[in-house]
Structure 1
Amino acid sequence: MLTKTDPVDLTGFSVPGRGNGILDVFRRRYLLRLLVRKGVSTRYRNSALGWGWSYVKPLTQYFIYFFVMGIVLGRNNGIDNFAVYLLSGIIVVNLFNEAFSNATKSIVDNKALVKKIYLPREMFPIAAVIVAFVHFLPQVAVLVVVSSLVGWVPSLLELGAILLGALIVILFATGLGLIFGAVNVSYRDAQNLVEIIKMLATWGSPVLYSYDLIARVLPDWLQTLYMMNPLTSAVELFHYGFWFSTTDGGLQPPPNLVRDSLIGLLIVLAITAIGQLVFRRFERRFAQDL
């Protein structure tokens, strides 16, 4: 029998509820796969079109923008293959908006699991981002078909630009999702702020217009900040990857696209690190606030 003075051997035990954050998520890939599979399989459950909605919704959005911006406002006359230009920008913003929005709601939507068992809480926003990426792939398939119809034959450099653009968006949505997902547990106003950010993402990046229009109205220093916006870099990388080679060279890629893209990548890596710190700070209150 142990007495009050006898030491207790805690070898082999770990303090419950503590972990290594994002690193633990990828150490428990089986749980991550389960959450992703659940998110994908329940997305369109009991719907007639099912995965067809992954095509219908973005295409509907595309045709509205194409009619308003391309035909009514005449932007299709100033940009060669405006259909490819517009679609390649829209799917980037759609990926960010869906991943960011879903990650913000992920903790609250999984409150039953959060309150009952311990697992790395970061797993929920990361799984939400991966699910958004899965839904992004059918949109890429449509873009590939449309681009191929106008003569797109990708080079290794263009494929690298596409992959870098997707990586920037995924990391950006993950970092912001960690921050807003954690804050949203205690302050549900976060979801309203996310809607504002999503609107700014659509209009604050060169999706519905070309970047050179911004250069005409902004001073040089503000234009530089605009081009360093990670979403701007990602959109322009997709334009370079899918659209630029199909044109006659009228509108050139941004002059400092490589520099701005690398800066954007550093920014999203910093945001992801900050997101992890904020998430860990709020995490201790999740169970009681839910």
Structure 2
Amino acid sequence: MTAITDTNESTIVVEQASGSMPRHHLVIFALLLLLSLAAPFFLYPVFLMKVMCFALFACALNLLLGFGGLLSFGHAAFFGSAAYVSAHAARVWGLTPEVAIILGTLSAAVLGAVIGLLAIRRQGIYFAMVTLAFAQMVYFAALQAPFTGGEDGIQNVPRGDLFGAISMRSDFSLYFVVLVITFGGLLAIYRIIHSPFGQVLKAIRENEPRAISLGYRVNSYKLTVFVLSATFAGLAGATKAIVFQLASLTDVYWTMSGEVVLMVLLGGMGTVFGPLVGAAVIVTMQNYLASFGAWVTIIQGCIFVISVMLFREGIVGVIAKWIRKPL
């Protein structure tokens, strides 16, 4: 199958939606897997799990922003709501961690479908503002609902036993479960991007009127990618709730939406591996610069300004430009 995109010269280019992965992408995925397998022997597993959760969250937003061309300022709604559902299912209902994560992910998918049906009717900054408005509604619900714990959140969430047999109480054993979830999500997003569906998304991003004239049901594609992005964001949030045994208002607050946008832009919007780098940089700064207190935000801002001035396409985007290969 093929998809049509628009070039700068407004000519039609036909791109093959190849089912095979480029060799350099295979090498990068293999190196990432090897580094991930070795990392917990040298670094704190909880820190690494936080990086992986936010990397998946950033990749989820990048699917919508980088490849669908839709800027969402409300993705914390899906991340945080899934965290609350997962935490509640594990702590109150006593469900096993895999079931709790699945329920949290499904709740984010349903919420994404509801918000997406209304949000895709707008474009540009209006779309972004609608998503932000809905996210604030979700935040208010999380603040007022009796089962969310209000400002205290849901604490002491039990990690439980995976499939009722494998104990998740050890950070080391939980790390490899999170690794499987993260890599599974990344590979799924990669497949979506490089599928015929992904090629149509790029066509809509480049020239929506042209895509409409060619007969594509643009709103259906937008809604689908919005729901998919919300689902992966929910998977990241639900997993994070089990890892940290906590779901709080921070997960659903608007600053979380801004933070993940920063990760995508810093790493490289529209690249496969950019959000991973962006998430790793931001989480590392938050972790190792925590002693600076409120100055962490200022330092992050300075680094972001420098990155925007020196790396207009993001860190990975610039590297891809240097080596002349898509990353």
What TM-score comes out, normalization by structure 1 length? 0.34
Which structure carries more strand by proportion? Answer: 2
Bigger relative CO (Cα 8 Å, ≥ 6 apart): 2
What TM-score comes out, normalization by structure 2 length? 0.31
